[in-house]
């Protein structure tokens, strides 16, 4: 399967797909932290995507996350641009698409997510509500429910790299994506069986 992971500097999702034998690439304005696979350091909108089977995108949430609602009035233009970027991703010419973001105004301005997952459903004892907007993909089913409901991101000390620590994809979620979405290659989009009920809330 040819996979493009957009807006990923960590290589976490890309490398999970590569480890399972897929032809996975990542793209970010930043260099990749992992040299285990191919990375395009450029705007994802400059890359022809027609040859890919799956696009997984983690667009910036800075102007979209509901946690920053008190600043919304001051950043109307940035917000519109961020929403346009999300619309562009969801309309990309790729048969299967997953877009990931925290609880955000994408829900009210574009559409509600198909699923909300938590790291503690995938082996990490933390809370961080993560929304998934899915096109021709089944919702992820939890792989390992663990105890621990710590909101680690809120306790991170300030610093230039804090946003990176907060935004890096959890390995357990990346592995679930690669295990569960990497084997859909032989099914036609639209012909899939839902693997479980969507986890909303
Ligand atoms: C919230 S972070 C996602 C990080 C990701 N979860 C990971 O593990 O690497 C959003 C990323 O989108 C990248 N980005 C923003 N605009 C982009 C664009 N037009 N094309 C590609 N990447 C972009 C940023 O540089 C940033 O690294």
By the 10 Å C-beta count (0-12 exposed, 13-18 middle, 19+ buried), 55 is classed as buried
By the 10 Å C-beta count (0-12 exposed, 13-18 middle, 19+ buried), 186 is classed as exposed
Average pLDDT of span 74-99: 96
The dihedral built from the CA positions of residue 101, 118, 187 and 190, taken in this order, carries a sign that is negative
Total-model pTM: 0.91
The fraction of the chain above a pLDDT of 70, given in percent, is 89
**How high is the pLDDT of residue 199?**
44
Average pLDDT of span 39-52: 98
**How high is the pLDDT of residue 196?**
39
The dihedral built from the CA positions of residue 145, 175, 47 and 114, taken in this order, carries a sign that is negative
Any idea which of 25-34, 110-119, 150-159, 178-187 has the lowest mean pLDDT? Answer: 150-159
Atom of ligand 1 nearest to the CA of 27: 21
**How high is the pLDDT of residue 187?**
59
Average pLDDT of span 172-176: 98
By the 10 Å C-beta count (0-12 exposed, 13-18 middle, 19+ buried), 40 is classed as middle
Ligand 1 centroid, distance to 29 Cα (angstroms)? 7
**How high is the pLDDT of residue 103?**
94
For a mutational test of ligand 1's pocket, the pick from 9, 32, 161, i.e. the residue with the most ligand atoms closer than 8 A to its C-beta, is: 9
Whether the pLDDT of residue 9 is over 50: the answer is yes
Residue 195: what are its φ and ψ, rounded to 5°?
-80, -25
Asked whether the beta carbons of 190 and 136 are under 8 A apart, the reply is yes
**How high is the pLDDT of residue 162?**
85
Place of tokens 């696979």: 37
Pocket lining for ligand 1, CB < 6 angstroms = 6-10, 12, 27-30, 43-45, 58, 60-61, 167-169
Whether the pLDDT of residue 195 is over 60: the answer is no
Q: How far apart are CA 178 and CA 86, in angstroms?
A: 22
**How high is the pLDDT of residue 183?**
87
């Amino acid at each position: 399967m040819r996979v493009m992971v957009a807006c990923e500097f960590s290589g976490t999702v890309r490398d999970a797909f590569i480890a399972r034998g897929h032809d996975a690439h990542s793209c970010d304005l930043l260099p990749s932290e992992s040299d285990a696979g191919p990375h395009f350091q450029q705007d994802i909108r400059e890359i022809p995507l027609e040859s890919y089977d799956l696009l997984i995108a983690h667009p910036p949430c800075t102007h979209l996350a509901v946690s920053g609602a008190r600043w919304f009035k001051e950043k109307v233009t940035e917000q519109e641009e961020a929403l346009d970027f999300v619309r562009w991703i969801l309309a990309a010419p790729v048969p299967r698409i997953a877009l990931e973001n925290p609880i955000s105004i994408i829900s009210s301005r574009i559409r509600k997510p198909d699923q909300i997952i938590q790291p503690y459903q995938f082996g990490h004892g933390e809370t961080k509500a993560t929304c998934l907007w899915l096109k021709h993909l089944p919702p992820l089913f939890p792989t390992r429910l663990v105890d621990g409901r710590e909101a680690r991101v809120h306790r991170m000390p300030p610093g230039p790299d804090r946003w990176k620590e907060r935004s890096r994809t959890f390995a357990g979620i990346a592995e679930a994506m690669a295990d569960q979405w990497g084997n859909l290659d032989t099914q036609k989009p639209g012909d899939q069986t839902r693997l479980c009920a969507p986890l909303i809330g």
